[in-house]
Amino acid sequence: MAELLVDKDGEGDEEEQELQVMRDEEDDGGGFGSNHTLKLSPTTVTIQSEIFCLAFSADGRFLLACCGDGMVRVLNPHNGVVISVLVSKRERSRKSYGKVERGSSGALGLQKKRSSSILDSVKLPCTCAAFRPYNKGEKTNGVALIGYSHGEIQLWHVPSAKVLHKLAVPPEDSNSRGGAGDGDKAEEKGEASKRDDNIEIPIGVEVLCCAFSSDGEFFAVGASDGVVRVYSDTTREMLVELKPGMARGSGHSSRVFSVKFHPDDSNTLVSGGWDNCVQVWDVEKATTVTTVFGPHICGDAVGVFGRTIVTGSWRDESQLEAWDMDSGKASGPSFWSGSGKGALLQQALGRRCRLYAAAFGGPEDARGSFVAAGGGEGANEVKVFDFLDNRRLIGSLLGLSAGAISLAFEPQGQQLAVGLADGQIHLVDIETTAEAPQESSGGKTIMVF
């Protein structure tokens, strides 16, 4: 089966790809949501840069792709056409500062360098994005928060491709941890320093993740210094820094890669990162109320269902887990392996997938209870589960050309966007069918439902 590769003009060439879409067969058809299947769209977008983050607008008109070259592509998710490219003034004029490398803990990070050779360096990545929730009142719709690894967050009006506001994310203090650089005092203060080669080096924290509260009144930013900062969307002022306290396990000791507000309570925020902990915060009191010990988060892979936290970890075992938000204890066993044909295939191949990304959403008739998770470092794959239907495996995308490092559900849950480390974006339709489709194959692509 052929995939359509879309270029900037929306015209494409057909190219065969080895990709499998599988549906779990150990379902008797009587469970809730059992009539949902995954269908690979004929549109695959190829961008010459890693896809660090994907984000749909609240109305589903736009899909943002945050890329390793520092630019944000705005796509039409219905046909994959690139509508516009959001480029900050800094990225237009900046020289190059470093290269993206994989750290020992698995996450993709920035290797700081001080070299005058332009050929040996690349632009700093755009790492995260989140659209402000749809608002029928006074606030403008189509506004997205975008974070950059050079330590800046920007608010963009995506339909007009205009920057509305910029904020520098400062280090915590002169002793800022994990990512502020290890040089002189100017570096520790987050200031740019100049070397003998006359190349300006940006020093400070790297913005790694961001999120809006469900009412759109607040947004939060997680960074390389282990601090989560919460801002007012009205005043654009920082309200609080969530960081370690006196109690054991309170706050993060390393990079924060995922942050989410509770969908029903903007005073409750959940964050996870490299330090093998997930923190549940009381934002107003700036304190940790619960600490979950265990998950190793290396991407945007934390979500909330009611009083349950779901985490995706970069490791070979217990990759996808659920936790009680109040006690911090595990809520059932890991459910990444799923069941049926997909689990048997992976067991036979002996390949394991370490998770970078997870997304939470799904169709309205399934109560938005879907969990999509994906990664690489062995098996490059994505799986979709119905969390509220006994965590049932709905389908899998196997044989991806590179690791899945970003995932996003369309707001109505009819589509899943999958971003890969090699710059490909797969669009997956979630369909409701009266009966399970039959097995079929064509070319090098096998579709097994």
The pLDDT of residue 39? 73
Q: Read off the pLDDT band of 247 (50, 70, 90).
A: low
Q: Which of 120-124, 199-203, 212-216, 423-427 has the lowest mean pLDDT?
A: 199-203
- Helix or strand or coil: residue 429? strand
Q: Which residues contact 79 (CB under 8 A, 6 or more apart)?
A: 6, 10, 43
- Yes or no: say if 180 and 170 are a contact pair by the CB < 8 Å rule: no
Whether the predicted model's global pTM rises above the 0.85 cut: no
**Listed range (101-115, 289-303, 343-357, 427-441) with the worst mean pLDDT:** 101-115
pLDDT over 70 percentage in the chain: 66
Q: What is the pLDDT of residue 123?
A: 74
274 neighbors 265 (Cβ within 8 angstroms): no
Report residue 355 as tokens.
Answer: 């998770």
Task: Give the residue, 434 or 444, on which the prediction is more confident.
Answer: 434
If pLDDT is split at 50, 70 and 90, which confidence band does 67 have?
A: very high
Q: Which of 398 and 189 is assigned the larger pLDDT?
A: 398
Q: Which residue has the higher pLDDT, 155 or 189?
A: 155
Considering only CA atoms, give the Rg of the chain: 21
pLDDT in tens, 299-334: 999 999 999 999 999 999 999 999 999 999 999 999
- Please provide the DSSP assignment of 401-423 as one string: SS-EEEEEE-TTSSEEEEEETTS
**pLDDT per residue over 36-63, tens digit each?**
676 766 678 999 899 999 999 999 999 9
pLDDT digits (tens, 9 = 90+) for 98-134: 333 444 445 444 434 333 333 234 478 999 999 999 8
Q: How many Å apart are CA 67 and CA 10, to the nearest integer?
A: 19
| Model pLDDT, residue 205 | 87
Band of pLDDT at residue 381, cut at 50, 70 and 90: very high
Q: Which of 189-198, 233-242, 383-392 has the lowest mean pLDDT?
A: 189-198
Which domains does the chain possess?
A: 17-448 (2.130.10.10)
pLDDT at position 43: 75
Can you read off the two tokens belonging to residue 96?
A: 């190059």
- pLDDT score recorded for residue 203: 53
List the single range of 67-81, 209-223, 270-284, 386-400 with lowest mean pLDDT: 386-400
For the chain, give the percent of residues with pLDDT over 90.
55
Q: Which residues share a beta bridge with 412?
A: none
Average pLDDT, the chain: 77
Across the beta sheet with 381-386, what order do the strands follow? 354-361, 370-376, 381-386, 392-398, 20-23, 445-448, 440-442
Given a cut of 50, whether residue 438 has pLDDT beyond it is no
Beta carbons of 362 and 370 less than 8 angstroms apart: yes
Name the least confident of 98-107, 163-172, 192-201.
192-201
Burial label for 68, CB within 10 Å (0-12, 13-18, 19+), is: buried
DSSP state of 368: T
Q: What is the pLDDT of residues 382-429, one digit of tens each?
A: 999 999 889 988 888 988 999 999 999 999 888 999 999 999 999 998
Alpha-carbon span 228 to 220, nearest angstrom: 7
Residue whose tokens read 């490092």: 405
